[in-house]
């Protein structure tokens, strides 16, 4: 299985600022993803982080608001830009690994963001 860590685990930010969340996987993985989980809701995919190229964003999410980097096969960052209280959420990094011959998607512990 893949072990995924995220930093920071939580943060409280002021409106209008930006926060960069880091995601580190302990092994090389093909796919990395960023999700958002708002209180009481399920997970919503923000984008797929592509190594060496621009991220692929889902409908409703744009690069200017959520720039993503993926410089190598084990690391990715998500920036939440020009934050507003509506961005308060848990942001989860995910990676697709290979376990027992089947693709399995693992999640990081999440970053709990509160925007004041």
Structure tokens of 5? 């860590």
Residue 16 within binding range of another protein, rule CB under 8 A: no
Q: How far apart are CA 66 and CA 83, in angstroms?
A: 10
Selected binder of another protein within 26, 104, 114, 116 (CB under 8 A): 104
Strand partners, 48: 33, 56
Residue 92 within binding range of another protein, rule CB under 8 A: yes
DSSP 3-state assignment of 86?
A: helix
- Judged by CB, which is closer to another protein: 77, or 94? 94
Residue 73 within binding range of another protein, rule CB under 8 A: no
Residue 55 within binding range of another protein, rule CB under 8 A: no
């Amino acid at each position: 299985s893949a072990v995924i860590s995220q930093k920071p685990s939580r943060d409280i930010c002021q409106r209008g600022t930006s926060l960069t969340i880091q995601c580190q996987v302990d092994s090389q993985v093909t796919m990395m993803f960023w999700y958002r989980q708002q209180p009481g809701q399920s997970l919503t995919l923000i984008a797929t982080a592509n190594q060496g190229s621009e991220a692929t964003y889902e409908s409703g999410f744009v690069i200017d608001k959520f720039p993503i980097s993926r410089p190598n096969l084990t690391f990715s960052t998500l920036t939440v830009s020009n934050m507003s209280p509506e961005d308060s959420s848990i942001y989860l990094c995910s990676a697709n690994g290979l376990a027992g011959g089947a693709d399995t998607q693992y999640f990081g512990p999440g970053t709990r963001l509160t925007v004041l």
